[in-house]
Amino acid sequence: MNSLRSTYKTLLPLVLVSQLFIPLSVCAQQETLPLPINEVRMFTEALDRIRMSYVEEIDDKTLLENAIRGMLAGLDPHSAYVDGSDFGALQETTTGQFGGLGVEVGRENGYIKVISPIDDTPADRAGIQAGDLIIRIDGKPLREMLPEEAAQLMRGEPGTEVTITVAREGMEPFDLSIVREVIAIASVRSRVLEPGYGYIRISQFRVNTGNELEEEIEKLYADNDGLKGMIVDLRNNPGGVLQASVNVVDTFISQGRIVYTEGRLEGKNMSFSANRKTVASDVPLVVLINNGSASASEIVAGALQDHGRAIIMGTRSFGKGSVQTVLPLDEERAIKLTTSLYFTPKGRSIQAQGIVPDIIVDDAFVTRRSRNVSQYNEADLPGRLNNANNDEEAQNEDEMAEALISAEEVLVTDYPLNEALNVLKGINAFKPAEVSNSGSFVQRDD
């Protein structure tokens, strides 16, 4: 029995010293739980039969590591065993550079599912979309493969090529040959959409994302006499560093809780509140999300929604509301374990539910339609009076003729973004009437 207990302890380390996907140390000493004797006996019996009867000889180290992998894989899609290069890659994804395709993956029904491609990476330029299933890499089937193993196959020396087979809803599976590149991502970028209206794209949450966001907002202020509104685009943002999402929310609110976690590690639940200098606390704000918005993106959207600070637009987010902690087993091996769930300020769990937008806006293509020749207005009537404020023709005849005969359709490439801009314009266009001293209403002209 002592040998059974010893074997069991090799699989369940008792001292958990870890680092989350945030700069956070979690240390816990848990008392030994009673061993399920029958189940441990069954495990050792299975181990012994495999050692003796498997068609090829396999060493005990490999068997036990495979047992750990299987044990974690059976918990949830995000818990995993990491060793060697995988351990280093785990750190690269949050702080450094790596050679690969630039795609965040998870697991669904035994297949590798794309959570989202990262902006301006080989995967993004090749047309990989959130929700795609990667079923083969260089001809190797991925059925029942762990996301970490699939990610390792997609990584490699920059300049080398990898062929992935993609299954997309409504289409036959197809191959894409993609050349690996060094994935070095600027997590925040911005531009002016129209005078007074700024656009900020956050592609991932990294250690310095909060500082990058402040810099981009300062640029927007410098490029405009005054900001009338701002759009924060979190679509296809797979998440990343939790503390970075807290810093992003803190940029837009001046007080209140941002996010909190609940788990089984006693005394290790976390709560984050606004405590930094708020850079943009009063600018009208729209946040765009979609099914590729996961984890830290959902923390930002949920917090700003609960505080009434932003209008959330788009489609329901991915629904990854769990926190993974890296628990080292030794210097080269660790387990990435789901240790807690996070909640929005009002106590909403995002896990498997996601953030539901205030305004649902699906991706769409919009075209401009030429004017129907059967339609006319006052300006078309013979002998009509000219506009009292302007002696020029109200309608340019040349433009009208062109509109009638042109077959060209003007494509709006980003419908949700245009709708978000329209919402901001509507907020600024609405000026409530004021009540005069006489009790009547007067229209504000400021």
In the predicted structure, residue 28 carries a pLDDT above the cut 90: no
pLDDT tens per residue, range 315-336? 999 999 998 888 888 888 889 8
The pLDDT-based confidence of 9 (bands split at 50, 70, 90) is very low
Residue of 75 and 387 predicted with greater confidence? 75
Q: Is 60 a catalytic residue?
A: no
Q: Tell if the pTM clears 0.85, that is, is over it.
A: no
What is d(CA 86, CA 149) in angstroms, rounded to the nearest whole number? 8
Task: Name the more confident of 120 and 315.
Answer: 315
pLDDT attached to residue 3: 41
> What is the pLDDT, as a whole number, of residue 96?
47
The reply to whether 124 belongs to the active site is: no
CB-count burial class (<10 Å; 0-12, 13-18, 19+) for 251: buried
Given a cut of 90, whether residue 396 has pLDDT beyond it is no
Residue 388's pLDDT band, with cuts at 50, 70 and 90, is confident
Structural domains of the chain in order of their starting residue, each with its CATH number: 98-183 (2.30.42.10), 186-324+338-380+396-446 (3.90.226.10)
* pLDDT of 85: 58
Backbone angles phi, psi at 167, to 5 degrees: -110, 120
Mean pLDDT calculated for residue range 52-81? 93
* Structure confidence at residue 305 (pLDDT): 98
Q: Judging by DSSP bridges, how do beta strands 366-367 and 411-412 pair with one another?
A: antiparallel
Which distant-in-sequence residues (6+ apart) come within 8 Å of 309 by Cβ?
252, 253, 285
CA–CA distance, 350 with 341 (Å, rounded to integer)? 8
| pLDDT level of residue 31 (50, 70, 90 thresholds) | low
Q: What is the mean pLDDT of the chain?
A: 81
CA gap 289, 271 in Å, rounded: 24
Distance (Å) of CA 411 to CA 364, 366, 406, 415, 417: 10, 6, 14, 10, 13
pLDDT at 410 over 50: no
Report the C-alpha gap between 285 and 310 in whole angstroms.
5
pLDDT over 50 at 339, yes or no: yes
Residue-wise pLDDT tens digits, 177-205 = 999 998 766 789 999 999 999 999 998 89
- Specify the DSSP element, H or E, that contains 366: strand 366-367
398 carries an active-site annotation: no
Q: In whole angstroms, give the CA distance from residue 314 to residue 323.
A: 24
List pLDDT tens digits, range 70-117. 999 999 988 999 886 566 555 555 544 567 898 878 887 778 899 888
Structure tokens at 25: 């140390």
How many helices (H) and strands (E) are present in the chain, helices listed first? 11, 25
Q: Which helix (H) or strand (E) holds 415?
A: helix 415-429
First CA to last CA across the chain, in angstroms? 83
pLDDT digits (tens, 9 = 90+) for 247-305: 999 999 999 999 999 998 877 799 999 987 688 878 999 999 999 999 999 999 999 99
How far, rounded to the nearest angstrom, does the alpha carbon of residue 385 sit from its chain's CA centroid?
A: 56
The mean pLDDT of 195-221, rounded to a whole number, is 93
Q: Concatenated DSSP letters for 117-156? A: EPTTSHHHHHT--TT-EEEEETTEE-TT--HHHHHHHH--
Q: What are the tokens at 270? A: 């976390």
Q: Looking at per-residue confidence, does 330 or 416 come out higher? A: 416
What's the mean pLDDT in 62-67?
94
Give Rg (Cα) of the chain.
28
Higher-confidence residue: 337 or 441?
A: 337
* Residue from 113, 228, 268, 320 carrying the catalytic annotation: 320
Give the C-alpha separation, 319 to 131, whole Å. Answer: 13
- Rounded Cα distance between 98 and 181, Å, is 8
Find the catalytic residue in 268, 306, 322, 336.
306
State residue 2's pLDDT score.
43
User: Which one is catalytic: 18, 190, 293, 295?
Assistant: 295
**3-state DSSP percent of the chain in helix, strand and coil, to 5:** 30, 25, 45
Burial of 318 (0-12, 13-18, 19+ CB in 10 A): buried
Determine how many CB atoms are found less than 10 A away from the CB of residue 252: 25
User: Please, which pLDDT band fits residue 375 given cuts at 50, 70 and 90?
Assistant: low
